[in-house]
Structure 1
Amino acid sequence: MKLEDITKDMVLTGILSGTAVKVVTVEPSGDDAITVYYKTDDGRLGEQMLFRSNEADLQPIDIGRPWSLDAKPEDFRLGAEALRIHLAHLFDPLMAIHTSNVDPLPHQITAVYEEMLNRQPLRFVLADDPGAGKTIMSGLLIRELMVRGDLERCLIICPGSLVDQWQDELDRKFNLSFEIFSRDMVESSPSANPFAEKDFLIARIDQLSRAEDLQEKLLNTEWDLIVVDEAHKMSASYFGNEMKTTKRYQLGEKLGAICRHFLLMTATPHNGKEEDFQAFMALIDSDRFYGKNRDG
């Protein structure tokens, strides 16, 4: 490369051994020599006098347009749109409502956005009258946690008579695709543990509470959110100072240990016995509610 061809902003090899430098400016030093002022990749400035004998070592590097886009425009647009959706909750705090096929009532919005979403982690008993829309509230919670990037795996536990209703409402109202757990899943699963392979499942409470083999598989997994409908079925009672637990209650204790967010839904959390209610509340916070209160 001729000395006369070296210009400002050119990237060259041959000035410094083993690295390329960017020319800052060039000063002629007669007909057969120039002084090159350069900058290295780490920002250091330097200078070097070059002679005709150095021309054979000098090689320009074409760095192209450093800020040009050489990817497919369609891929760039897809990535930008994905990022926009991922950050949408920062600009729309009610994102789940606006992307779902529901028109929630004020008390449902208050429960989800003012009470539940602010709790990290969420350990919550959602107790409301039958027909108050607890399914809608849980669907909004699931949807909002997904939009905010806080939920990738969700398990719903409910009575067997409600699994189809749960699946239908989550799909129709929130566009959430949940599969209903069955024994056939275990047989067809490559790892024999569909709880580890499926991210969105609905399971029957009695099927799990009665099957220790299924509980063993479940305990080898972790979930971002577990929702239990008709949670009052996970009951325990005191006889004297001894607490008698049901299989459903024992399942509830195990569920609380494998999830970050734990939501219990029921219309009848209290059966009139304070100690039984305290045992129920221990499912969400065993440190706070464990044991029986002593009189006096």
Structure 2
Amino acid sequence: MSVVTGQIVRVRSRQYLVEDVVAKPLVKEDTLVCLSCLEDDALGEQLEVLWEREVDAKVIGKTSWESIANRGFDNPRLFSAYLHTLRWNCVTSTDPKLFQAPYRAGIEVKAYQLEPLRKALLMPRVALFIADDVGLGKTIEAGLILREMLMRQKVRRVLISCPPSVVRQWQEEMESRFGLTFVIFDREFVASRRQERGYGINPWTTHSRFIISHALLRDETYAAPLRDWLGDFTGASMLILDEAHNAAPASGTKYAVDSQLTRTVRDIAPRFEHKLFLSATPHNGHSNSFAALLEILDPQRFCRGVPVRDRKLLDTVMVRRLKQDLREIGEEFPERRVIPIVIDHLPEDAPELKLSRLLQEYRNLREERLKEASKSTQNAAMLVITSLQKRLLSSIEAFARTLKVHRVAIEKQSINRSGNAINLPLLLESPGADDERAELAEEEVQAEEDTQVMVATGQAASFGLSSRELEILEEMTDVANQARYQADPRVEKLVAWIKQNLCPDLGKPNAAWVEKRVIIFTEYTDTKRYLQQKLQEAIAGSDKERDRIDVFHGGIGEERREAIKNAFNADPLRHLISCTSTYNPR
């Protein structure tokens, strides 16, 4: 096909204007064509080609309104749909009152879940605190905002920081509900990136959407490369901080005392253009601590040390709805009812009551003996006794094992003579959702608990024990060992409840189960094992007895976790025993 000056041609996947055509000197030679690019990103760039040698060279024919009209007109309804699609795509990129994200999410969005999205889009830079009640869908609300910001091309980099126990859950929900792929930033990810690209690589630069646990975020090993990735400020970036109250200073003093997580979040938050904080419990009871958290979110409106009293100012950055508020406008939520079950008329020599009296006497004797000891020694001794009291309230099985560790430590006299304060968090409470140990195997957590009991016991053991204290320890050990394998009154009450509500014919061969399920929460691994054993004995002989009970705890692995969830939601699992730190109801 011949080409002439002034034509529009397509060469090498681009459109050009023909500026000059040099005729062939000989018949067997090629035509030299001088071109000028018409594409926006290379307008006016010159190109010379041998026309016959170009593989995709093509002359673009003339297009006129007559040729368009000759093909006929579109159906009005079809053209109207096309026109409205163009208008919608244009308007929703600029109009904050029109949303696209709800139509791109694989969920049934509730009307009240659109309020955070509406408020976020009215902000020049998103700085929003979603403080809705538990179960109202803060994750969905955050996902809608993020999806909308991505579609409007206002966000390119995203970091979600959350407690370790919900990292996988965030990843699954973002992908299944919103089609957003996130990478979990952990030790395995860092190791794999360094293996693939070299030890000097900054792993943060290898992706644009990350999820990291609070525990790793406050680790300088991970926070320093994050700061390098963000620089002083990165536009089109968003920080989503789940359970944001963990980043609030814990003290009620004038300026509050920053934790390591507080300092880390305070450092990285200003580097993000957009920020979303999520928490069902935003206020920890200290107004100064709450103000410090809001300052991290929006330093233009709030200042640490200045109590937040202006409700209108707070409403500009916070969305806070309770379930009872939404019930009043027609939303339906199941009501949570706390029904105490009283167990009384126990005999005076019941093991639970006898151990409680002995342990209180032991506590009084230890307090009297340690009156002249240092504060750290007193605290260590009381930590051990408080830990024993909590375990006795959980189960005699948990109490008996910890009591044994305590006695062994006394016998070994493993004394910490430094007198310094000791950090023994596991004696105060089990690993929480923001503790990396919540995802460790039970055996590892239990071994660390035992070590802390021994260390605390050793520090206080330097003052010795009286003969009466040793007698009490011996007596408690005997009582606990005799009763630890028996079903206590609470288990008997639980079995009666199961028979009444889940398996009316329990005790008969192949007794059938109803569709109800029950989740039993317990704090200690020993109690969990004890409960599993006693319940398994109680339902022996019923239909599919071996499949009716399972346990949910840290370190079980992702595949096992999913299998338990599927069995609990389907059939035949009816009882799920979970440690409180490893089960998340969302």
Alignment TM-score > 0.5, same fold: yes
- Counterpart in the other structure of 1:94: 99
SS of 1:121's partner is coil
User: Does 1:193 pair with 2:209?
Assistant: no
Map of 2:292 onto structure 1: 279
Q: 2:175 aligns to what?
A: 171
* 2:247 aligned partner: 234
Superposition deviation, residue 240 in structure 1: 4.3
Paired residues for 1:21-170 under 5 Å: 65=61, 88=89, 90=91, 93-112=98-117, 114-170=118-174
Q: CA deviation at 1:264?
A: 0.5
1:205 aligns with 2:206: no
Amino acid at match of 1:134: K
TM-superposed CA distance for 1:238, in Å, is: 4.7
Question: By how many angstroms is 1:192 displaced?
Answer: 2.8
Aligned partner letter, 1:107? Y
Give the aligned partner of residue 250 of structure 1.
263
Q: Cα deviations across residues 168-196 of structure 1 (Å, max 9, x unaligned)?
A: 11111111111111112223323532212
In 1, the alpha carbon distance for the partners of 2:186 and 2:277 equals 22
Contact 2:131 2:279 in 1 (8 A): yes
| CA distance 1:290–1:237, change in 2 (3 Å) | farther
Bigger share in helix? 2
CA contact (8 A) 2:182 2:211 kept: yes
* Distance in 2, Cα, partners of 1:108 & 1:225: 20
Amino acid at match of 1:200: R
Contact conserved, 1:270 with 1:277, CA < 8 A, in 2?
Answer: yes
Conserved in 1, the CA contact under 8 Å of 2:247 and 2:262?
A: yes
The one of 273, 277, 299 aligned to 1:260: 273
Shift in CA distance, 194/89, structure 1 to aligned 2, threshold 3 Å: farther
Give, in angstroms, the shift of residue 279 of structure 1. 0.9
Aligned CA-pair RMSD: 3.2
Bigger mean CA offset, 87-96 vs 275-284 = 87-96
- What is the aligned partner in structure 2 of residue 40 from structure 1? none
- Alpha-carbon distance between aligned partners in 2 of 1:256 and 1:164, rounded to the nearest angstrom: 23
Distance 1:278 1:177, change over 3 A: same
Provide, for residues 182-236 of structure 1, a one-character-per-residue CA deviation record: whole Å limited to 9, x for no partner: 1122233235322122111110011111x21211101012361110110100021
Structure 2 SS opposite 1:206: helix
Q: Distance in 1 between matches of 2:282 and 2:192?
A: 38
Hey, what's the Cα distance between the residues in 1 that align with 2:260 and 2:86?
42
* Counterpart contact for 1:87–1:148, Cα < 8 Å: no
**Residue pair 1:221, 1:258 contacting (<8 A) in 2 also:** no
Secondary structure of the residue that 1:216 maps to in structure 2? Answer: helix
Separation (CA, whole Å) in 2 of partners of 1:141 and 1:205? 22
In 2, distance between residues paired with 1:205 and 1:214?
Answer: 11
Which whole-Å CA distance do the structure 2 matches of 1:271 and 1:168 have between them?
Answer: 30
Paired-residue identity, %: 27
> For residues 208 and 216 of structure 1, what CA distance do their matches in structure 2 show?
10
Of 281-290 and 225-234, the range deviating more from structure 2: 281-290
- SS at structure 2 position matched to 1:125: strand
SS at match of 1:267: coil
Q: Quick one: distance in 2 between partners of 1:86 and 1:165?
A: 37
1:220 lines up with 2:228 in the alignment: yes
Q: Which amino acid aligns with 1:277?
A: F
Instruction: Give the match for residue 38 of structure 1.
Output: none
SS state of the match for residue 225, structure 1?
Answer: strand
CA distance in structure 1 between the aligned counterparts of 2:138 and 2:90, rounded to whole angstroms: 23
Does the residue aligned with 2:301 lie in a helix, a strand or coil?
helix
SS state of the match for residue 288, structure 1? coil
Bigger Cα displacement from structure 2, 241-250 vs 189-198: 189-198
Separation in structure 1 between the aligned mates of residue 161 and residue 214 of structure 2, nearest angstrom: 6
Partners of 1:108 and 1:283 in 2: how far apart? 24
Whether the 8 Å CA contact 1:121–1:260 is kept in 2: the answer is yes
State the structure with bigger RCO (CA 8 A, min sep 6), 1 or 2: 1
Conserved? CA contact 2:255–2:288, under 8 Å: no
Letter in 2 for 1:109: L
Larger-gyration structure (1/2): 2
Q: CA deviation at 1:148?
A: 0.9
Unaligned runs of 5+ in 2: 7-18, 21-58, 65-81, 308-586
Residue equivalent to 1:72: none
Question: Is the 2:158–2:239 Cα contact (8 Å) retained in structure 1?
Answer: yes
- Where 1:243 maps in the other structure, the secondary structure is coil
Alignment check: 8 A CA contact 1:89 1:147 kept: no
Tell me how far apart the structure 2 counterparts of residues 10 and 207 of structure 1 sit (CA, whole Å). Answer: 65
CA contact (8 A) 1:157 1:205 kept: yes
Structure 2 CA distance for aligned equivalents of residues 254 and 106 of structure 1: 35
Distance 1:86 1:180 in 2: 38
Query: 2:253 touches 2:288 (CA, 8 Å); kept in 1?
Result: no
Which shows bigger deviation, 238-247 or 278-287?
238-247
TM-aligned CA distance change 1:256 to 1:156, over 3 Å: same
